[in-house]
Copies of this chain bind each other. A is one copy, B any other.
Amino acid sequence: MDCLKPHGLKTDLYELTMAQVYLERGKTKRAVFSLYVRKLPEVRNFLVAGGVKRVLDLIGEFKFSKDQLRYLKSLKLFKDWFLDWLEQFEFRGNIYAIPDGRIVFEEEPILQVEADLPSAQILETFVMNIVHLETLLNSKAARIYAVAGGKTLVDFGYRRAHGFEAGNAAAKAALTCGWNATSNLEAGMLYNLPISGTMAHSYVMVFGEEEAFREFYRHYPQNAVYLIDTYDVLEAAKLVVGLSKEGYKPLGVRIDSGDIPELVVEVRRLLDTEGLKDVKIIVSGGVDEYKIAEWRGLPIDGFGVGTRYVTSADKPYLDIAYKLVEYAGEPKFKLSEGKKTYPFKKQVFRFYSNGRMDYDFVTLYGEEAEGEPLVELVLREGKPVKDLGDWRVARERFLSDFERLPEGLKGLEKVPYEVQIDARLEPENYLSKPQGE
């Protein structure tokens, strides 16, 4: 695989050209950058934080090897003293974050980096890429989970994810956000995820349906799900009935194409009539939350969800930003239309009412409030403060937040959630101070 280690080059050129100027001009005081989503997509009512654990796992390897430094030297932009600085680099600053699995909204800082300015600047691309991908996937997985109403959800997306790395992230995000399993073996091993799978059309075509099902059962009696849409779904369903009577009764059948509402009703009726009420019907092929909602009420027990999930197809990116909010103790902000930023390091307090999330309040970090604080110090002077736990822990956070999420936000229609911003964060307060100094 062409992924390079260490991770220092996971950056854009300008991070390093700027850092060289910062260092040469003594702009090395404490800076705070905030990584947050400026605006929720129209098609998301909430986000689920992700990537924080991965940032902490990998940040110790955000360094530059001799080969990488030689490459940078070849660009003829960097001075030897700066390449020496990169060679010595390890991140020794602080990170404040909202842990993986927590439900978050716009303007809430998922990750805040506090360090000398050059160190905090050169992390930009690295932390954005990780947090963006995992938050994007968690949020999509959670939206699908919210609509599925307890039906089984299995990630089938590895083959059409944007690379293996994204496929593995998607498998982990699915399990973080309430799904049941993934078909992705690499992710299964990497993260110890529950694994699931059925059979392909090619397999059915090679054996013919009857032999295909029989052989599969013989090999995997505990795991047999028969794919019944290679030729004629109802004929195949009748075959399943016959085989079940001979002892080859599967856990379920999968339908991957055709007129789903019509087919599942007929197949269910046939199976029920023949005493196969416990044989599940699994649907795959172009499934996403919109299809799942459209098919609500139909006799479908579970979904194989692939491409549209792993690519977050209805919105494949978030309006995420990594913005300088404080330098040398001074507020930093931008006033541009649609891109206004609030200065200072922040805390988010969440307020509940009758066991449900009521509103969030974004304020200065260090302030006290009645609500539940979401932001934690997770890395102090380059060292992890505590173990954030694996996907199972993130899943507990997610399920606990999801239970307290207002019901309206769980649907597909746009429903807003109130995020109050402390008036003291309004950039207008600081306009008298010249920004450039």
A interface, CB within 8 angstroms of B: 1-5, 7, 9-18, 20-22, 24-25, 27, 31, 33, 54, 57-58, 61, 68, 71-72, 75, 77, 117, 121, 124-125, 128-129, 132-133, 136, 156, 158-169, 183-186, 188-190, 195-203, 205-211, 215-216, 219-220, 223, 229-231, 257-258, 307-308, 311-313, 316-318, 320, 322-324, 327, 332, 334-339, 434-437
Query: Which residues does chain B contribute within 8 Å of A322, judged by CB atoms?
Result: 159
The answer on a CB contact under 8 Å between A183 and B219 is no
Copies of this protein in the assembly total 2
Question: In the complex, A109→B20 CA distance in Å?
Answer: 49
Question: In the complex, A317→B132 CA distance in Å?
Answer: 19
Question: In the complex, A326→B14 CA distance in Å?
Answer: 51
Are A2 and B190 also in contact (CB < 8 A) when A166-B162, A200-B18 are? yes
Task: Give the 3 A-B residue pairs with the shortest CB-CB distance, closest first.
Answer: A208-B436, A13-B197, A162-B162
Chain B's nearest CB lies how many Å from the CB of A172?
A: 10
Query: Which residues does chain B contribute within 8 Å of A13, judged by CB atoms?
Result: 183, 185, 188, 195-197
The answer on a CB contact under 8 Å between A231 and B335 is yes
Question: In the complex, A27→B230 CA distance in Å?
Answer: 19
Question: In the complex, A342→B382 CA distance in Å?
Answer: 57
The answer on a CB contact under 8 Å between A258 and B337 is yes
Query: Which residues does chain B contribute within 8 Å of A308, judged by CB atoms?
Result: 317
Question: In the complex, A258→B231 CA distance in Å?
Answer: 55
Question: In the complex, A192→B121 CA distance in Å?
Answer: 24
Q: Other CB < 8 Å A-B pairs besides A162-B311, A209-B436, 11 of them?
A: A1-B3, A1-B58, A10-B185, A12-B156, A13-B195, A14-B203, A159-B322, A206-B327, A258-B337, A311-B317, A312-B316
Query: Which residues does chain B contribute within 8 Å of A196, judged by CB atoms?
Result: 13
The answer on a CB contact under 8 Å between A158 and B190 is no
Question: In the complex, A134→B395 CA distance in Å?
Answer: 32
Query: Which residues does chain B contribute within 8 Å of A434, judged by CB atoms?
Result: 208
Query: Which residues does chain B contribute within 8 Å of A133, judged by CB atoms?
Result: 162-163
Chain B's nearest CB lies how many Å from the CB of A259?
A: 9
CB-defined A-B contacts under 8 Å, sample of 22: A1-B61, A2-B190, A4-B190, A9-B185, A9-B188, A10-B158, A12-B158, A17-B220, A21-B219, A25-B215, A77-B223, A121-B203, A124-B159, A162-B162, A162-B316, A205-B332, A205-B334, A230-B334, A230-B336, A231-B335, A312-B316, A316-B316
The answer on a CB contact under 8 Å between B129 and A436 is no
Chain B's nearest CB lies how many Å from the CB of A242?
A: 15
Closest B residue to A68 by CB, please name it.
B189
Closest B residue to A22 by CB, please name it.
B206
Query: Which residues does chain B contribute within 8 Å of A229, judged by CB atoms?
Result: 336
The answer on a CB contact under 8 Å between B10 and A186 is yes
The answer on a CB contact under 8 Å between A185 and B16 is yes
Question: In the complex, A22→B185 CA distance in Å?
Answer: 19
Query: Which residues does chain B contribute within 8 Å of A183, judged by CB atoms?
Result: 12-14
Chain B's nearest CB lies how many Å from the CB of A211?
A: 7
Query: Which residues does chain B contribute within 8 Å of A186, judged by CB atoms?
Result: 4, 9-11
Contact of A12 among B31, B159, B219, B231 (CB under 8 A): B159
Query: Which residues does chain B contribute within 8 Å of A210, judged by CB atoms?
Result: 436
Question: In the complex, A428→B337 CA distance in Å?
Answer: 60
Are A189 and B9 also in contact (CB < 8 A) when A166-B163, A434-B208 are? yes
Query: Which residues does chain B contribute within 8 Å of A12, judged by CB atoms?
Result: 156, 158-159, 183-185, 197
Are A1 and B11 also in contact (CB < 8 A) when A207-B436, A230-B334, A436-B209 are? no
Chain B's nearest CB lies how many Å from the CB of A404?
A: 30
Contact of A257 among B14, B15, B317, B338 (CB under 8 A): B338
Closest B residue to A190 by CB, please name it.
B2
Query: Which residues does chain B contribute within 8 Å of A216, judged by CB atoms?
Result: 17, 21
Query: Which residues does chain B contribute within 8 Å of A5, judged by CB atoms?
Result: 1
Closest B residue to A198 by CB, please name it.
B14
